[in-house]
Amino acid sequence: MKSVAIIGGGITGLTAAFRLKEKGFTVVLYEASERVGGVIQSIRKDGFLAEFGPNTILETSQVITQLVKDLGLAPRRLETDPRAGERYLVRDKKTVALPDSPLAFFKTRLFSTSTKLRLFIEPFISCAPADLDEPLSEFVLRRLGREFLDYAINPMVAGVYAGDPTRLSVRHAFPKLWALEQRYGSMILGQILGARERKRRGGVSKANAPKFSFDNGLSVLVETLQARLGNSVRLASPAHRVTRKNGRWTVTAQTVNGETQAAYDAVVLAAPAYKLAELDIQASQRVDLSVLREIYYPPVASIVLGYRRADVSHPCLGFGMLIPEVEKCNSLGVIFSSALFPNRAPEGHITLTCYIGGARAPGLVALDNDKLFALAGQDIATVLGATRPPVFQHLTKYNKAIPQYNVGYGRFKAVMSDAEAQAPGLFFAGHYRDGISLGDSLVSGHEIANRIHEAFIL
């Protein structure tokens, strides 16, 4: 029976471990902290449910659907409320519904007439050279103009990456967008023709993918995976050395009982990139991952506020609102958490989740909790019409939140690919390589398990 060590107990590592055990591998998962799941954590207090990190899973792949079924979680799955489909952008400190059709786009007050008319020339704009690693901002300015960058792409990037469009690489951070231009010469034509191809393949775009959670929050997924893995999980056990000798890998980890060593046939590196940079990896020659510490992870504060329904004038019935940088608010965006799923707030109350910091304003995260609560509350008062303070508050700070696929990110991917080629049995998986969304991480864990299975032909 072949054995695999997994370093990192986030959702990618947990998913990979579960799938590998299913395939007959002996698996040991090393997690440095005292809990698995990474940023995925939910608490219920005073009738409110607060998510520490993401609020939903995007069901972009049948891999995700099947995982939920295989874990026996289908009965606990919650779909988003059909009334919560509305998404908002903020302009002039007021929410404006994001257009969901071509007709709605041409009627919206989000964009000027000149910006709307510019779409007609987009198919005739030349595409960038295939070897150019272009910032997202330049890509959008070239194809769609300044207003579209300021009031569509800038807030979208803040909501997805907590990132900066002047630094993010369109090729690496939004590879499907880059591919549309390269293949079709146009984003608009690519969206139309690409949709037909996705339909033939059975794929779903992130814009149209169903969103779901569970009856007691996303922690349900983490807790179920951990329970199914049982004693395969080693908590408070940071791995610090990985050595290949005679065709096997020895993992050295520090535990509460001292240093331990064990040998495996393969190793999956599923910890954050800045943690992998600290690993001592020896194969036929040293595998140097120190460059991975240069991957930028901006800080983010996740702030959950509960209000009496009567104290907020906005209906807050959509998915949430994204806030452009030019609006000069404190928050990157706000999710209307209690509008998405039932039992997220007591009767007569609502739950709102705000995000502050990111690449836009990293210094804000260093403020004390009371100041951060006040900043988030100020935005909710200004834009959503809160007239009284919240009755519930919860805050989580992430000093290193989301890896930024900035211009030049290809060199990091090359280091990983070279390491896998130099050191057979070493595998990389996770949000630093395969996409940053929760759905991306689930698929990454599934696919790395398949790669290992194929490599050993079990």
**How would DSSP label each residue in 43-77?**
EEETTEEEESS---EE--SHHHHHHHHHTT-GGGE
Residues 6+ apart with CB under 8 A from 457: none
Residue 342: per-residue pLDDT:
95
Residue 458: per-residue pLDDT:
54
Rounded (5°) CA angle 155-156-161: 105
Distance CA 57, CA 266 (A): 29
Distance CA 386, CA 382 (A): 7
- Topology adopted by domain 111-201: protoporphyrinogen ix oxidase, domain 3 (1.10.3110)
Q: Determine whether 397 is exposed, middle or buried from the number of CB atoms within 10 Å of its CB (0-12, 13-18, 19+).
A: middle
Residue 457: per-residue pLDDT:
73
Residue 199: per-residue pLDDT:
63
Residue 430: per-residue pLDDT:
97
Residue 200: per-residue pLDDT:
63
Distance CA 4, CA 400 (A): 28
Distance CA 208, CA 195 (A): 11
Distance CA 182, CA 113 (A): 28
Neighbour tally for 176: CB within 10 Å: 12
- DSSP helix, strand, coil percent of the chain (3-state; round to 5): 40, 25, 35
Distance CA 278, CA 432 (A): 15
Q: Is 160 helix (H, G, I), strand (E, B) or coil?
A: helix
Domain with CATH 3.50.50.60 in the chain: 3-39+220-295+404-456
Residue 201: per-residue pLDDT:
59
Cβ proximity of 393 and 365 under 8 Å: no
In angstroms, how far apart are the furthest CA atoms of the chain? 68
Residue 207: per-residue pLDDT:
66
Nearest Cα to 211, choosing from 318, 302, 300, 304?
A: 318
Structure-token pair, residue 44: 């219920």
Residue 193: per-residue pLDDT:
77
Cβ proximity of 336 and 352 under 8 Å: yes
Residue 208: per-residue pLDDT:
74
CA 229 to chain centre: 24
Q: Determine whether 262 is exposed, middle or buried from the number of CB atoms within 10 Å of its CB (0-12, 13-18, 19+).
A: middle
pLDDT tens-digit profile, the chain (458 residues): 899 999 999 999 999 999 999 999 999 999 999 999 999 999 999 999 999 999 999 999 999 999 999 999 999 999 999 888 899 999 999 999 999 888 899 999 999 999 999 999 999 999 999 999 999 999 999 999 999 999 999 999 999 999 999 999 999 999 989 999 999 998 888 877 776 666 665 556 666 789 999 999 999 999 999 999 999 999 999 999 999 999 999 999 999 889 999 999 999 999 999 999 999 999 988 899 999 999 999 999 999 999 999 999 999 999 999 999 999 999 999 999 999 999 999 999 999 999 999 999 999 999 999 999 999 999 999 999 999 999 999 999 999 999 999 999 999 999 999 999 999 999 999 999 999 999 999 999 999 999 999 999 75
Please provide residue 201's backbone torsions phi and psi, each rounded to the nearest 5 degrees.
Answer: -80, -15
Neighbour tally for 411: CB within 10 Å: 10
Neighbour tally for 87: CB within 10 Å: 19
Structure-token pair, residue 198: 């996705």
Structure-token pair, residue 431: 């949000």
Give, as one character, the DSSP assignment of residue 23: T
Please provide residue 200's backbone torsions phi and psi, each rounded to the nearest 5 degrees.
Answer: -65, -35
Structure-token pair, residue 299: 């800080």
Please name the helix (run of DSSP H) or strand (run of DSSP E) that holds residue 214, with its range, or none: strand 211-214
Domain with CATH 3.90.660.20 in the chain: 45-52+57-84+298-398
Domain with CATH 1.10.3110.10 in the chain: 111-201
Structure-token pair, residue 258: 């001292």
CATH number assigned to the domain covering 45-52+57-84+298-398: 3.90.660.20
CATH number assigned to the domain covering 3-39+220-295+404-456: 3.50.50.60
- Exposure b/e, 345-355, CB count within 10 A at least 16 = b: bbeebbbbbbb
Cβ proximity of 330 and 356 under 8 Å: yes
β-bridge partners, 87: 320
β-bridge partners, 428: 269
